[in-house]
Amino acid sequence: MTAAIIHVGLLLAALAPPDAGAPARAPGDGGAGASAKVSARAEVETALGKAGGAELQRLAATAQATLMMIASDRSTAETLRARALSALAYARNLRAQTYLENFVVGRTPPLDATDRVLVRHAAVALGWQGDARLVETVAPLLDNADADVRLDAAIALGLGRTRSAEAPLRARLATETDAAVRRQIEASLKAVTAPR
């Protein structure tokens, strides 16, 4: 909880549009900026709909704020939101890490099917980033009632290859009943305990 509180200010700064606080323009008042933003978002959404790995990398480098906006927008389709979160795995910077951490913490425990899918994508994105707070952010998901959430939490912890992930992975392995989750925990344990 402390990590979430610490990062609230950073999250708010990351989510604020660059022109926050600027006076709004009336229609026909030369407000081309608003239509450009809508157009830019539409372009990113279109790219997310058909993107492969290279395109996700490009989006993370050029449209990080738009990806965050899409991921946070509850009126946007779940698949686009999930792809936006996956693209943020390529944005290896503090802003993206903080956003992803707060996304996971703010939706833990995930209350509905959409939140479960989105938390899974955000957790794996954090795993790819190798975030310093990966274990404290993602390890609580190992206790989620949904096996898919536990599976992706184990994947994320394995991707991070952080030695401190060993304890929560071993603790979950002792009680895990789902065969697929058990296999992933075992694979993740090999990754986090491998000599470097």
Residues 6+ apart with CB under 8 A from 109: 144, 145
For residue 18, give the DSSP letter. T
pLDDT over 50 (residue 6):
no
pLDDT over 90 (residue 23):
no
In whole angstroms, how large is the CA radius of gyration of the chain? 18
pLDDT over 70 (residue 2):
no
Return the CATH number at 164.
Answer: 1.25.10.10
What local confidence, expressed as pLDDT, does residue 33 receive? Answer: 59
- In a domain? residue 138: yes
Closest listed residue to residue 118, CA positions, set 143, 152, 162, 93: 152
What local confidence, expressed as pLDDT, does residue 121 receive? Answer: 97
Alpha-helix residue ranges (DSSP H) falling in 16-165: 32-50, 53-62, 64-72, 78-87, 94-106, 113-129, 134-138, 147-160
Cα 119 to Cα 9, 103, 132, 175: the distances in Å are 21, 7, 18, 22
Instruction: Report the distance separating Cα 113 and Cα 170, nearest Å.
Output: 27
What are the tens digits of pLDDT across the range 134-172? 999 999 999 999 999 999 999 999 999 999 999 999 999
The structure tokens listed for 40 are 């830019």
The parent domain of residue 149 ranges over 2-14+39-193
Mean pLDDT of the region 177-188:
98
Better-scored residue on pLDDT, 109 or 96: 96
- In a domain? residue 60: yes
Instruction: Report the distance separating Cα 194 and Cα 16, nearest Å.
Output: 41
Q: Is residue 27 very low, low, confident or very high in pLDDT (cuts 50, 70, 90)?
A: very low
- In a domain? residue 174: yes
Cis peptide before 109 (omega within 30 of 0): yes
Better-scored residue on pLDDT, 53 or 27: 53
Instruction: Report the distance separating Cα 157 and Cα 142, nearest Å.
Output: 10
- In a domain? residue 90: yes
> 113-129 vs 147-160: helix axis angle to the nearest 10?
10
What are the tens digits of pLDDT across the range 40-85? 899 999 999 886 888 899 999 999 999 999 999 999 999 999 999 9
pLDDT over 70 (residue 98):
yes
Q: Is residue 192 very low, low, confident or very high in pLDDT (cuts 50, 70, 90)?
A: very high
- In a domain? residue 21: no
What local confidence, expressed as pLDDT, does residue 3 receive? Answer: 38
- In a domain? residue 31: no
What local confidence, expressed as pLDDT, does residue 14 receive? Answer: 37
pLDDT over 70 (residue 7):
no
- In a domain? residue 150: yes
Domain count, the chain: 1
Average pLDDT, rounded, for the chain: 84
- In a domain? residue 27: no
Determine phi and psi for 120, rounding to 5 degrees: -60, -45
Instruction: Report the distance separating Cα 57 and Cα 16, nearest Å.
Output: 23
